Structure 1
């Protein structure tokens, strides 16, 4: 065989090897997740027939450490993003609000709340604003420190307040992490402070009297 023939044969083998390598690569999948037509990861809750229920699916955006990322990460942790979820302890919605908190925020129609995405988003922002005001001194004093090996950040404290209330967060900080809170499922303040650290929530103003505009 001529040198030219050997060159083209070698080139052909190289191309086939590369193509075969790409075709043999395995695609990793996560149970309950799939890609929609827009290449977004979507989480579907399996129904009794083991099929994904489209009405309970939630798009998980790739938005990094932004406020949207913070909001959606908490929603996924709390409810898998399901608007109408009510847990065994009576907490409801995408962000799992208690009734007393909703009343404080100006919401009394709980059935409407469970089906109103706009109200739920406004309620989340209002609660963040209230907790930011309640924790304003702690945010200034403790952010950047480490407690129980976890760096304290504004978003971590606000997430912990969402879980257990601002008062519980204050006790945790002032006791240097010795006074801990856990919810009915055993989730701790420490775990939320760690899981939700470092998100940018700076544009949400502290507001002692924040309420939901229902219009």
Structure 2
């Protein structure tokens, strides 16, 4: 009886050991299979990348830098106007300098009266009015200097090529009368403003812009519906 029990126990132990061994072997085989599949997928991805590179397809970086494009104004009238406004005030419509000149283009009060603007406070706080004032003043200056533009355009004075836009810019700085004296004296009669900026400087800096759309007008005035504070 005891012998039979021992035989059964030995048989059960043997069966248990075989089952444990089979389970471990199966787990190892599954692990090896998963690793093989993963390695296959990695290799397949590498092969795809290589194929795309070989066929000329470009792989973009994760963060492509953003390109910013700004309009190119060149030598247009808008470029002329904005360059002059930047030189006068850095484009600030609401500034007053130490000498009382106003706005983006730094107008004096007497010049404003010539073109029909009598309220400096409204002028300073109205960008649209300032832009209209610039056009009107340029038209008036072009009329005053019309003969001098025709006579001196394309000539060289003090090493500076004289252009219409340079003449109009200088007139904005110094007034058309001083520019007329400068041109007719071939540069001997100079002028500088309170900051030391000269006619020569403006003639050169603002040379070659297209100001052909400015019509000479002796009586150029700004027309705006309301100029009251």
Note whether the superposition's TM-score is higher than 0.5: yes
Q: 2:168 aligns with which of 152, 158, 164?
A: 158
Corresponding residue to 2:201 among 185, 191, 194: 191
Between the aligned partners of 1:140 and 1:196, the Cα distance in structure 2 is 18
**Cα deviations across residues 131-189 of structure 1 (Å, max 9, x unaligned)?**
00000000000000000111000000000000000011011111111111000100000
Partner of 1:77: 87
TM-score normalized by structure 2?
0.69
Unaligned stretches of 5+ in structure 1? Answer: 1-7, 24-34, 41-60
Structure 1 CA distance for aligned equivalents of residues 104 and 125 of structure 2: 10
CA-atom RMSD in angstroms? 2.6
Partner of 2:130: 120
Is 1:95–2:95 an aligned residue pair? no
1:137 to 144, 147, 155: 147
Q: Unaligned 5+ residue runs, structure 2? A: 1-49
For 2:18, the equivalent position in structure 1 comes to none
Secondary structure, counterpart of 1:91 in structure 2: coil
What is the CA distance between 1:62 and its match in structure 2? Answer: 2.9
Q: Distance in 2 between matches of 1:78 and 1:142?
A: 25
Greater CA radius of gyration, 1 or 2? 2
More strand by share: 1
Question: What's the counterpart of residue 63 of structure 1?
Answer: 73
Summarize deviations over 1:26-59 as a string: whole Å, max 9, x none. Answer: xxxxxxxxx7xxx54xxxxxxxxxxxxxxxxxxx
* Aligned-partner SS, 1:186: coil
Which segments of structure 1 move beyond 6 Å, counting only runs of 4 or more?
Answer: none
Displacement of 1:109: 1.1
- Structure with a larger share of its residues in helix: 2
Which structure is higher in RCO with an 8 Å CA cutoff and minimum separation 6? 2
